[in-house]
Amino acid sequence: MAYTMTPTPTGPVGSQYCVCKVELSVCGQNLLDRDVTSKSDPFCVLFMEVNGKWVELDRTETAVNNLNPAFAKKFIVDYHFEEVQKLKFALFDQDKSSMQLYEHDFLGEFSCTLGMIVSSKKITRTLLLGNGKPAGKGMITIAAQELSDNRVITLSMAGRKLDKKDLFGKSDPFLEFHKPGDDGKWMLVHRTEVIKYTLDPVWKPFTVPLVSLCDGDVEKLIKVMCYDYDSDGGHDFIGEFQTSVARMCEAQDALPLELECINPKKQKKKKNYKNSGIIIVKSCKITRDFSFLDYILGGCQLMFTVGIDFTASNGNPREPSSLHYINPMGTNEYLSAIWAVGQIIQDYDSDKMFPALGFGAQLPPDWKVSHEFAINFNPTNPFCSGVEGIVQAYSACLPHIRFYGPTNFSPIINHVARFAAQAIQQEAASQYFILLIITDGVISDMDETRHAVVQASKLPMSIIIVGVGNADFAAMEFLDGDSRVLRSYTGEEAVRDIVQFVPFRDFRNAPKETLAKAVLAELPQQVVQYFKHQNLPPINSEPA
């Protein structure tokens, strides 16, 4: 898309951990009529490309006599952001009860990536025949929905006048929350911390997924048990009660919910037994813990910019020893990195217009050094159409520039940061900027670059650095704050880690998908972390 002028999560939310499931709904319109006496009886088959071959994942039911079917059966697919997941939807007219597809008449097909579907949420496309021509007026509509309950519940609990269990002091109470398991037995879901020496404890607020606490069913009964902690593990039972999330949600800050804590044994023995204390629900709130896919399905666009190192240390691009030399196969390490990252990210940008910038070269006609120039030599419109456009502009510019130096990163980082700062003014989770810098060496403006990264960490932006060649990349590892927090020369700390560095040499002999996975592994986590930190929900999100 052309530009128009958190506290750390508790546990990983990056794509390498979070395999989301996506539900795909399929409808057909104006399908070909293959039956003589009646209309077609269509069904849809979903294929996924695995190692270059189409593998059938699933098929829908058959819609009898229907050229405009809406299939009830949904396709469920695991979603991996950092992979190109190629899908093919093929429609057939059922003629026999055979499972063999060649026994049925072909009505047309449509191929795309899963990324294309989730970034649009819903797409309608022309069905094609095997020869690539339209299948009559046949169309297919595919809609995506994430299959996960992202609600979380935050509970603030206290106790009053609990039974005294310790001989020489008060109790050391803690709570346990249980839900009914499939086997009919109670299953432990959460245990609070222990509050020492008190009969009137106030526990710290805690947050758990709603699915964990009650399987997402707010009416389901849950059991809360109160114990007195003993260091030998033989905790003394104080009392229990059953309730539901719906009931606990009645608690308001000004009006807490009080529940009697009952010890059934004491209740049987003592006639005048009232309770073993009161457990107080001070507050109970359900919110949504949004995922990367929620933001993408909500309409967030990933804005991709490439920054390419044209410094002299790369070598003369006409010489095979140069990192910019394009080999007879039409590639080099710079192009490999652009393809690996670009082919994934381009699915998440509606107009696929990407700025491509260079740095460290002397430019015609006056041969001044530039650290921020459009590689298509059009400073007012540095956009290239798709990854192919970037590759073409890169190849075309090589003969017209002189490699020079130094290796300054900060101008390009600040260039993208200016657009990311404009996006903040929209106060919506609508754009997130990704800068891919491909470089062969040591950064000359390290202080300015550190400062630029620290400032950019406050913006909706991430930086991916791919190091090509065999140079010492220690400085890049330093910018990638995985092991420690990055600081500016002023002492200011980065509010979050936004740099991912990968040396290309580690992937020279690996399949090209491996580089994309390594480079993009942290990106979903960084996107979610930024928008959560800003308290921005997905644009089209529903209330919890």
What is the set of domains in the chain, with CATH numbers? 19-147 (2.60.40.150), 151-288 (2.60.40.150), 297-534 (3.40.50.410)
Percent of the chain with pLDDT over 70: 95
Q: What is the amino acid identity at position 152?
A: V
Q: Is residue 301's pLDDT more than 50?
A: yes
Judge residue 541's burial from the number of C-beta atoms within 10 Å of its C-beta, 0-12 exposed, 13-18 middle, 19 or more buried: middle
Q: How far apart are CA 227 and CA 206, in angstroms?
A: 18
Closest CA to 108 of 45, 23, 35: 45
Q: Is residue 12's pLDDT more than 50?
A: no
Supply the DSSP string of 335-371, one letter for each residue.
HHHHHHHHHHHGGG-SS-EEEEEEESEEETTTTEEES
Q: Using 50, 70 and 90 to split pLDDT, how confident is the model at 540? A: confident
Mean pLDDT of all residues in 406-417: 96
The secondary structure element, H or E, covering residue 530 is helix 523-533
Q: How far apart are CA 389 and CA 387, in angstroms?
A: 5
**pLDDT tens by residue, 340-362:** 999 999 999 999 999 999 999 99
Looking at residue 456, its pLDDT comes to: 97
Q: How far apart are CA 199 and CA 192, in angstroms?
A: 15
Average pLDDT value over all residues in the chain: 91
Q: What is the amino acid identity at position 380?
A: T
Percent of residues in the chain assigned helix, strand, coil, to nearest 5: 20, 35, 45
Q: How far apart are CA 473 and CA 329, in angstroms?
A: 27
**pLDDT tens by residue, 106-159:** 999 999 999 999 999 999 999 999 999 999 999 999 999 988 888 999 999 999
The residue whose two tokens read 């190109």 is 84
What Å distances lie between residue 157 and 188, 195, 383, CA to CA? 17, 12, 55
Strand partners, 21: 78
Strand partners, 202: 158
